Structure 1
């Protein structure tokens, strides 16, 4: 009789199962344990974690909204195909859009309209980070950046940003798992607000360059290392 293979994941205790399963799957994707194109089988994961399929399915939906998984009709969830070059190109495009959007907000005198909402969004991110509610934090992070782009008044910027929304969310999920300090990215959003408040477009550009640039370096280098180790 053939021996059963070792489970991919250890059994999981109760409470907030879908969020916890989503974090486990995110770690597996970032570490390369689950590779691009791999099928995320609900039944196998539910068995390994000692839970029903329902919270696994909900975790899959959370990660689909975050851009890490894709669903295929009658086939379930699959790890989204993403590599270092894709990520680097996405960050470069984000920098082009968001640095100029931030500069336009300052130059057009529109910061006052969104200053309080931006601060409120950061407070939400920090609180969600402390509660380890990563998937919800990702959504709020996207709202923060989108608000700046929208307020810039450049509809072309906004159209491109919205088209990239799921990929941007995926990057945010990866950032939080790559950095050692949980919530560091959430708190770093305060630096963007401080730069906007100077009233200097160049300061706004520099802050966005730094904010997105740090994440770009960490995530892209991490993926290049994984690709080198895995030969893929």
Structure 2
């Protein structure tokens, strides 16, 4: 386990809703890789770095635990959840079910404002790559996929996708480790948008399958590489 002892670049907070702000800062640190899987979230260190008391840090940790991002160990504190290859498979199985359907439905509703909104998400991805901003890349990548679900027009489907938000952002952060060129992440979304614009259902599903399938395979490989091996007897 790695301890959170040195500062990781968390900005000082000054506004009122501290718990959600702390949760957001910790989520960003996790998706950037500053807090890797298995790292301990030391309440005192985080509170000191953010310039606040420990109470909102503890509440934020509990919130992230409820979202599946942290796990608590009695008398030891909170740790960043370590995703297993099985977790990745389960997540991508569900993503495929949701996003295949969402993409086909979104294509049917893809008017000019919707098309512009998706292009804006991709522009944000390219802008984040230009700045080499890992946290912004994760957010822009997530927003592109969420926007497809939003355009699809099914509120229940969108809520289901939103329920995966925290885990998705962690996985998207892992994807960022697979590319030397951050612009490549943005470019992988271009065929998906092109397929939506073309409007052919079979082609849309094929591109969604390829886009998510590559990520599933490579993230699974990375998680297996990062997983500790069996302990020696």
Return the TM-score normalized by structure 1: 0.72
Q: 2:49 pairs with 38, 50, 53, which one?
A: 53
Q: CA deviation at 1:166?
A: 0.9
**CA deviation profile, 1:80-134 (whole Å, cap 9, x unmatched):** 242110111101110111011111122x243434111111111111111221221
CA distance, structure 2, for counterparts of residue 145 and residue 75 of structure 1: 36
C-alpha change, 1:129 and 1:28, in structure 2 (3 Å) is: same
Quote the residue 1:164 is aligned against.
Answer: 164
Secondary structure at the residue paired with 1:178?
coil
CA distance, structure 2, for counterparts of residue 169 and residue 188 of structure 1: 17
More displaced stretch, 96-105 vs 152-161? 152-161
Report the number of matched residues.
Answer: 207
Q: Does 1:98 align with 2:99?
A: yes
Return the TM-score normalized by structure 2: 0.71
C-alpha change, 1:195 and 1:23, in structure 2 (3 Å) is: same
CA distance, structure 1, for counterparts of residue 209 and residue 31 of structure 2: 31
Secondary structure at the residue paired with 2:147?
helix
CA distance, structure 1, for counterparts of residue 193 and residue 91 of structure 2: 23
Q: What aligned pairs does 1:1-232 form with structure 2 within 5 A after superposition?
A: 17-18=9-10, 22=29, 26=33, 29=36, 34-35=37-38, 38-41=39-42, 53-54=49-50, 69-70=69-70, 77-106=78-107, 108-227=108-227, 229-231=228-230
- Where does structure 2 lack aligned partners over 5 or more consecutive residues? 12-27, 55-59
Contact 1:176 1:183 in 2 (8 A): no
C-alpha change, 1:202 and 1:140, in structure 2 (3 Å) is: same
Q: CA deviation at 1:172?
A: 0.6
CA distance, structure 2, for counterparts of residue 9 and residue 147 of structure 1: 34
CA distance, structure 1, for counterparts of residue 207 and residue 98 of structure 2: 13
Contact 1:124 1:140 in 2 (8 A): yes
Q: CA deviation at 1:11?
A: 7.4
CA distance, structure 2, for counterparts of residue 23 and residue 223 of structure 1: 15
Quote the residue 2:17 is aligned against.
Answer: none
Q: Which has the higher contact order (CA 8 A, sep 6+)?
A: 1
